[in-house]
Structure 1
Amino acid sequence: MTQLYDEIERYALVRNGCQELNLSDSVLRQCMEKLRAQIDLGLNPSTREQASVKCYNTYVQDLPTGKEKGQFLALDLGGTNFRVLLITLNGRHFDMQSKIYVVPKEIMLGPGEVLFDHIASCLESFALQHRVAKKNLPLGFTFSFPLNQVGLKSGILTRWTKGFNCANTVGEDVVQMLAKALAKRDTIKIDVVAILNDTTGTLMSCAWKNHNCKVGVILGTGSNACYVEKIKNVIGFDGDTSKPHVIINTEWGAFGDHGELDFIRTPYDKEIDKHSVNPGKQLHEKMISDVPGRVGQTSHHQVHQRQSIIWRSNQPQTSRAMELPH
């Protein structure tokens, strides 16, 4: 009987400890309404500064038709690894060659020039390997960090996320920084024709297969979303007004940075944020991206500290595991 009571008590402790992570439909609707309000602020340049969800214009106004042809390079930078791709399109058929490269920790935290030199070196190696170094192929640059685009091939970095913190880059045009690094290498000719967020790339690639796709969402090292918006809802739109739509990069990872999510943030969320490289920033991203695993570890550790009965005394390895730094 004592063993049964122990089991019941353990279950109750775990259930109660996890209860604040379980959001009701009404709470989720409150989150939805708060997000919509921030989107409306972000779509208007005069109120964007007040918005945690910036809603940047991507200048991408046409979705793929599925009839595109040719060879293209792509660079996808968005985390501790980045990917270089050679894509051949022929109508509804395609071929893709790719390679993943690592961004060492010291480069993630070093000067921006070193980061882009590293990327250019890897691009050079890839282009030479696939014998396209001198073809002057167009390159699409997927840059998965908060970016204020001022044109299809021009984007100003607003801040770093995902553990990056490269000096002399915030406020700079990252396309120009990449082009400058590529220009140092006489062995390759590459034309950077567009910069986009990974959410925009996700939407575009899915729309190539399914023309009804209108939203792109990323849940990985970070989190973000983009969607197709009517240009009449984008105040002061400075793109092609003859086209009815444009893709908006929401940058919703920062949702909550102005306190909108304080009513659902748990002690575990606050602990994760406290030990991050950017405390108080990207709060929504930290709540829904790859961080929940660390939230789980933190919550288990705190429950264990409050009541060690959850783990039997003959399982010391479990309690030690819960004490590992997150």
Structure 2
Amino acid sequence: MKQINLGLGKETNAQAAVKCFPTYVKELPNGHERGRFLALDLGGTNFRVLLIELNDGNFKMESKIFAVPQSIMQGAGHELFDHIAECLSTFAHMQHIEHEVLPLGFTFSFPCSQHGLTEARLTQWTKGFSCSGVEGEDVVKLLEEAIERRGDVKIKVCAVLNDTTGTLMSCAWKNHNTYIGLIIGTGTNACYVERLENVGLWDGDWEEPKQVLINTEWGAFGGGGDLDSVLTEYDRDIDQHSINPGRQLFEKMISGMYLGEVARQLVQKLTKQGLLFGGQGSDALFERGGFFTKYITEVESDAPGDYTNCRMVLEELGIEHATDEDCENLRYVCEVVSRRAAFLVGTGLAVLLNKMDRPSVTVGVDGSVYRYHPHVHRLMCEQISRLVRPGMKFDLMLSEDGSGRGAALVAAVASRTAAT
């Protein structure tokens, strides 16, 4: 709570680890948005372009996924935005909309300081991206310049947002009690609806509704030392070998980009101590990044006493001599890692719920860790129930295509309010 309040304060934001950026999204969907909208969704190794049609509660979508090569993720910034513009052009020609000027919502799921609904400056890269010349720049302007360089499509950017905002908006379109958006996937982040009177950073209008979505950027929690007492040797090693040491510490304990490596380091240590696999591992097991986060999900998806998925994972790792006891112990390691992640997320959500102090709140959730892990939902609910105020009700709602649909909805709401 302390870090959130520091982030919201005008005088204290610069020192806060949790930045709590206002998104300039003040209104939530009412279910009556209409029109055709484009959406761009960049937040990891895949990039999506979407054409979305809304008609009084009905929804139709066409989309295409494009890869973002490693060379572009870590190359020059103009190359990244040229790649995005090329993908948009390809999709527009496929849909025969290259001559239309459609409102566009741009989901850019990296920490940004927003200065309006269509201006967002990247504060720092995360999730393996390190493109030069982008940090501190307005990503909407970089996108528009790249599209202009091509000259073969026309757009009108109505909003820039991150995936948490998209998730909240997407769920709020169906459930008007949604006031929190959460991502647990490659990275983790949360946004929530805050009263304007609590937002010292606010420099927009004070007209109704006197609220705004706050992008917490909670993945950076711990940067001020708040997590030092709970960081393990494995967390510290992962952080030291990351491309952003000392940053995004909360994220590195929770998200899909790192959970597999936390588990691998535990398994590696136990193996070298002779406590797993008779002390005999494999090259894949002992290689950094060799144990994927999806393995945790697969191992924990086995029924009690069944090790079918576990043995398939071990076979991929080149370990074929495991006993049933080894499989049980591997599952226990995976459970410890995923339970800690779920409890940390649940704790963060409880803080937001208590801060908002609404009698009932739906949390819109998206991301591969939440979507596919068999127990994360239950574990999160257990932790939230322990920590929220007595009588407070909450519900976790899986988002359907939050990042894409949400971007279109932000653009739709912006278009709707501009017309009134």
TM-score (normalizing by structure 1): 0.86
Q: Which residue among 228, 240, 244 is the counterpart of 1:278?
A: 244
1:133–1:190: 8 Å Cα contact kept in structure 2?
no
- Which residue number in structure 1 is paired with residue 260 of structure 2? 293
- Alpha-carbon separation, structure 1, partners of 2:276 and 2:84: 48
Q: Which residue among 73, 83, 88 is the counterpart of 2:48?
A: 83
Instruction: Tell me, yes or no, if structure 1 residue 109 matches structure 2 residue 109.
Output: no
Q: Which residue among 215, 235, 245 is the counterpart of 1:249?
A: 215
2:22–2:201: 8 Å Cα contact kept in structure 1?
no
- Alpha-carbon separation, structure 1, partners of 2:88 and 2:113: 24
- Alpha-carbon separation, structure 2, partners of 1:228 and 1:141: 20
- Offset at residue 294 of structure 1 (A): 1.3
- Which residue number in structure 2 is paired with residue 40 of structure 1? 5
Instruction: Tell me, yes or no, if structure 1 residue 304 matches structure 2 residue 274.
Output: no
1:298–1:192 Cα change, 3 Å:
same
- In structure 1, the gaps of 5 or more residues are 1-35
- Offset at residue 184 of structure 1 (A): 1.7
1:155–1:173: 8 Å Cα contact kept in structure 2?
yes
Q: Which residue among 179, 182, 186 is the counterpart of 2:147?
A: 182
Higher RCO (CA 8 Å, separation ≥ 6 residues): 2
Q: How does 1:1-326 map to 2 (within 5 A)?
A: 36-243=1-208, 244-290=210-256, 291-305=258-272, 307-312=273-278, 316=280, 318-326=281-289
The code of the aligned residue for 1:175 comes to: V
- Which residue number in structure 2 is paired with residue 23 of structure 1? none
SS at match of 1:38: helix
1:311–1:319: 8 Å Cα contact kept in structure 2?
no
SS at match of 1:288: coil
2:7–2:19: 8 Å Cα contact kept in structure 1?
yes
- Offset at residue 103 of structure 1 (A): 0.7
- Alpha-carbon separation, structure 2, partners of 1:99 and 1:310: 44
1:220–1:289: 8 Å Cα contact kept in structure 2?
yes
- Alpha-carbon separation, structure 1, partners of 2:151 and 2:129: 29
1:304–1:319: 8 Å Cα contact kept in structure 2?
no
2:42–2:48: 8 Å Cα contact kept in structure 1?
yes
2:235–2:262: 8 Å Cα contact kept in structure 1?
yes
CA RMSD of aligned residues (A): 1.1
Deviation above 6 Å: which 4+ runs of structure 1? Answer: none
1:59–1:151: 8 Å Cα contact kept in structure 2?
yes
- Alpha-carbon separation, structure 1, partners of 2:194 and 2:184: 21
- Alpha-carbon separation, structure 2, partners of 1:65 and 1:135: 26
- Offset at residue 265 of structure 1 (A): 0.6
More deviation, 240-249/112-121: 240-249
2:267–2:276: 8 Å Cα contact kept in structure 1?
no
- Alpha-carbon separation, structure 1, partners of 2:74 and 2:219: 21
- In structure 2, the gaps of 5 or more residues are 290-420
- Alpha-carbon separation, structure 1, partners of 2:28 and 2:123: 26
SS at match of 2:150: coil
Larger Rg: 1
- Alpha-carbon separation, structure 2, partners of 1:58 and 1:183: 26
The code of the aligned residue for 2:44 comes to: G
- Alpha-carbon separation, structure 2, partners of 1:312 and 1:319: 12
The code of the aligned residue for 1:300 comes to: V
The code of the aligned residue for 1:263 comes to: S
- Alpha-carbon separation, structure 1, partners of 2:262 and 2:201: 41
SS at match of 1:171: coil
SS at match of 1:70: strand
- Alpha-carbon separation, structure 2, partners of 1:37 and 1:65: 33
- Which residue number in structure 1 is paired with residue 327 of structure 2? none
